[in-house]
Amino acid sequence: MPHLLLYNIKVIANFSATWCGPCKMIAPFYVELSEKYPSLMFIVIDVEELTEFSTSWDIKATPTFFFLRDGQQIDKLVGANKPELQKKITAVIDSTSQYPK
């Protein structure tokens, strides 16, 4: 995601699909998290609309979440696992406290 290569930017990218049941199930929770953590950038990528882009990220299942800092992947989660998603987001927040703001 070259356009997101800005200093100290934390991005949670959700690769999703409109026909995906687990994606629909976790979508409201993802919105809640985006409201709870305004310092993070939450984006949703529709794998059907952005097929080539999704393929370049090697998406094999939806939902797939990528956790990025300064444009670099720092973690990944495949599946609609709410507790694990929360845990990984908390880890991203905690890891950024080591960096100057």
Q: Is 46 a catalytic residue?
A: no
Domain span at residue 82 reads 2-96
Tell me which of 4 and 69 has the higher pLDDT: 69
Average pLDDT score over residue span 24-32: 97
- Identified catalytic residue from 12, 13, 17, 20: 20
Give the CATH number of the domain where residue 46 resides: 3.40.30.10
Q: Is 23 a catalytic residue?
A: yes
Gap between the Cα atoms of 63 and 36, Å rounded: 20
The pTM (predicted TM-score) of the whole model is 0.85
Q: Is residue 101 part of a domain?
A: no
Q: Is the pLDDT of residue 20 over 60?
A: yes
Q: Is residue 52 part of a domain?
A: yes
- Identified catalytic residue from 23, 26, 33, 85: 23
DSSP secondary structure letters along 21-34:
HHHHHHHHHHHHHH
Beta carbons of 79 and 23 less than 8 angstroms apart: no
Q: Is residue 82 part of a domain?
A: yes
Cα 9 from chain centroid (whole Å): 13
Sorted by sequence, the CB contacts under 8 Å of residue 50 that are 6+ apart come out as none
- Single out the residue of 7, 5, 6, 25 nearest to residue 16, CA to CA: 25
The count of domains in the chain is 1
Phi-psi region of 48 (alpha: psi -120 to 50; beta: other; left: phi over 0): alpha
Percentage, residues of the chain above pLDDT 90 = 70
Is omega for the bond preceding 63 within 30 degrees of 0, making it cis? yes
Q: Is residue 32 part of a domain?
A: yes
